């Protein structure tokens, strides 16, 4: 800087020095202003903003979540009583059928021939039996001869019945109404007595099989209503009923099997879907209730900050019962209609000045 000023003329040197002095004065003024503003910003109000709510009397409950898979209450595997070649299949996967609907039939050619022969043998045996019965009544034949004829008649009758059953079993019908969930036979293929040809599920009523812990087993009972959420169907909860509850744990388990049944008349709920069951574990219908976040622990005591009629803070010791994480039951210490602090309560004491905000 000194070298720079030395190279200037006297007039220019005076102007440069004056300019430098002006810049320094401006910088000093700016610094004073910023410092004053900073000091003002450091002034903090001693009034604490809070939010309050009323202490209410209402029903309070705690719940426990359970999960399970949907399954049909009724599901059957249809196996033919007669093995043979399949002639026709009348249903497809997904079809809705009624009890008695013909599912498929087996080739009857040989069965019908056998039935015709058995029926002819029966008719002959019957006619012979009726003649011999007349002769026996007249004393023309011995009892031994009559009983031999009667045995032939009885044998022919049983043969006819068996042939008729085989003919009837060649037509396979649905034992229950519902939806066809699998078809394992085709026209021209073979039907076996050892494998399911068709499966049918009645999903007008569905069930969920799950289990509960020992902490819950004595808090629920048969016919209790429970909320069931099936996310893949609807955000709205369905109402289910506990229809089975084991009093003993399952084998090699520490939990108790539980069955919940749901009405499914519109068939919206499908077997295999995941369901979330909400079981009520504790319930009080006349509880004094405050938000859970209004409950504080100070000095080893459970307290709540209460606002008096003249906006004074009172810290009251309370005892808490049911707490579901959102709301808490106050067993002692508060009354319905009082106002408790639910926001800002961590920063106040009985000497604090407060301002209620919405």
pLDDT, tens only, 159-196: 999 999 889 999 999 999 999 999 999 999 999 988 99
Task: Give the Cα separation of 181 and 178 in Å (integer).
Answer: 9
Output the average pLDDT for the chain.
89
Query: With bands split at pLDDT 50, 70 and 90, how would you rate the model's confidence at 138?
Result: confident
Ramachandran angles phi, psi of 205, nearest 5°: -135, 130
Q: Where in the chain is the domain with CATH 2.40.420.20?
A: 50-61+285-356
Q: Is the pLDDT of residue 104 over 80?
A: yes
Query: With bands split at pLDDT 50, 70 and 90, how would you rate the model's confidence at 136?
Result: confident
Q: Is the pLDDT of residue 4 over 50?
A: no
Structure confidence at residue 94 (pLDDT): 93
Which residue did the predictor score with more confidence, 103 or 82? 103
Structure confidence at residue 45 (pLDDT): 53
Structure confidence at residue 46 (pLDDT): 81
Q: Where in the chain is the domain with CATH 1.10.287.470?
A: 80-191
Q: Give pLDDT tens digits for 203-228.
A: 999 999 999 999 899 989 999 999 99
Which residue did the predictor score with more confidence, 29 or 205? 205
Q: Give pLDDT tens digits for 254-268.
A: 999 999 999 999 999
What average pLDDT score do residues 86-91 get? Answer: 95
Structure confidence at residue 6 (pLDDT): 54
Q: Is the pLDDT of residue 39 over 50?
A: no
What average pLDDT score do residues 353-358 get? Answer: 89
What average pLDDT score do residues 45-74 get? Answer: 91
What average pLDDT score do residues 127-141 get? Answer: 89
- Fold classified for 65-71+202-283: Elongation Factor Tu (Ef-tu); domain 3 (2.40.30)
Architecture of domain 80-191: Orthogonal Bundle (1.10)
Which residue did the predictor score with more confidence, 142 or 23? 142
Task: Give the Cα separation of 134 and 156 in Å (integer).
Answer: 20
- Fold classified for 50-61+285-356: 2.40.420
Q: Is the pLDDT of residue 131 over 80?
A: yes
Q: Where in the chain is the domain with CATH 2.40.30.170?
A: 65-71+202-283
Query: With bands split at pLDDT 50, 70 and 90, how would you rate the model's confidence at 35?
Result: low
Count Cα neighbours of 28 within 13 Å in the Cβ-side half-sphere: 6
Q: Give pLDDT tens digits for 239-251.
A: 999 999 999 998 8
Query: With bands split at pLDDT 50, 70 and 90, how would you rate the model's confidence at 358?
Result: confident
């Amino acid at each position: 800087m000194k070298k720079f000023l030395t190279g200037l003329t006297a007039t220019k040197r005076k102007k440069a020095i004056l300019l430098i002095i002006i810049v320094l004065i401006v910088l000093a003024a700016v610094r004073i202003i910023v410092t004053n503003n900073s000091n003002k910003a450091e002034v903090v109000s001693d009034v604490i903003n809070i939010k309050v709510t009323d202490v209410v009397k209402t029903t309070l409950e705690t719940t426990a979540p359970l999960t399970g898979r949907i399954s049909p209450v009724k599901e059957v595997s249809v196996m033919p009583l007669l093995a043979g070649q399949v002639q026709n299949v009348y249903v497809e996967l997904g079809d809705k059928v009624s009890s008695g609907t013909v599912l498929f039939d087996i080739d009857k050619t040989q069965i019908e021939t056998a039935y015709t022969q058995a029926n002819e043998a029966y008719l002959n045996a019957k006619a012979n039996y009726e003649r011999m019965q007349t002769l026996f009544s007249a004393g023309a034949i011995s009892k031994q001869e009559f009983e031999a004829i009667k045995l032939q008649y009885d044998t022919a009758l049983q043969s006819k019945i068996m042939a008729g059953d085989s003919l009837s079993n060649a037509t396979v019908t649905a034992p229950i109404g519902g939806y066809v969930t699998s078809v394992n036979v085709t026209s021209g293929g073979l039907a076996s007595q050892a494998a399911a040809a068709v499966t049918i599920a009645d999903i007008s009523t569905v069930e969920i099989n799950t289990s509960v812990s020992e902490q819950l087993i004595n808090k629920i009972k048969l016919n209790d209503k429970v909320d069931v959420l099936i996310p893949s169907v609807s955000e709205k909860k369905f109402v289910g009923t506990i229809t089975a509850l084991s009093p003993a744990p399952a084998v090699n388990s520490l939990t108790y099997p539980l069955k919940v049944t749901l009405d499914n008349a519109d068939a919206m709920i499908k077997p295999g879907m995941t369901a979330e069951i909400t079981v009520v574990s504790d319930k009080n219908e006349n509880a004094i209730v405050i938000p859970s976040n209004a409950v504080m622990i100070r000095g080893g005591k459970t307290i709540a900050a209460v606002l008096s009629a003249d906006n004074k803070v009172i810290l009251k010791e309370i005892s808490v019962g049911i707490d579901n994480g959102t709301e808490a039951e106050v067993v002692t210490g508060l009354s319905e209609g009082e106002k408790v602090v639910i926001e800002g309560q961590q920063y106040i004491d009985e000497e604090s000045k407060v301002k209620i905000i919405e």
